[in-house]
Copies of this chain bind each other. A is one copy, B any other.
């Protein structure tokens, strides 16, 4: 049943993805990408750093920023700008390029909603040329919504 008894979950997948780029496969990149792949939400720089630390991976803040930007460049991750003015990154499988983001006001996590393709219907004023549509939702994520219901 075990595919690997040496590597943490997702590290294998990360390594695999990285080997298909023109860049180098370094611990920082493997670790960061693996963290992003395992996450079910878009992570901030801080969250990534903390998670890395918990796994025993020490990365300099600057290296982290650079690794993340590089992953975005390579198309292995994507970057969103949260309402709190911090970048968040995700590399979840099956999430299309264009999708919506959900900011949970309780746990402050940001989720990428892959199913939310811009099925937008609206009347745009004349003259505007649209390149990208960004849809941000705010409210409670399923987990926090449940907690609120249970408690209240």
Interface residues of A (CB under 8 A from B): 81, 83-85, 100, 102, 105, 113, 115-117, 119-142, 145-146
Q: How far is the CA of A142 from the CA of B100 in the complex (A)?
A: 26
- The answer to whether B128 and A138 have CB atoms under 8 Å apart is no
**Taking CB as reference atom, which chain B residue is nearest A149?**
B129
What's the Cα separation between A151 and B84 when bound, in Å? 38
Given A113-B125, A116-B122, A128-B139, 17 other A-B contacts at CB below 8 A? A81-B84, A81-B85, A83-B134, A116-B124, A120-B120, A120-B122, A125-B142, A128-B137, A128-B140, A128-B141, A130-B137, A130-B138, A133-B136, A134-B136, A134-B137, A135-B135, A135-B136
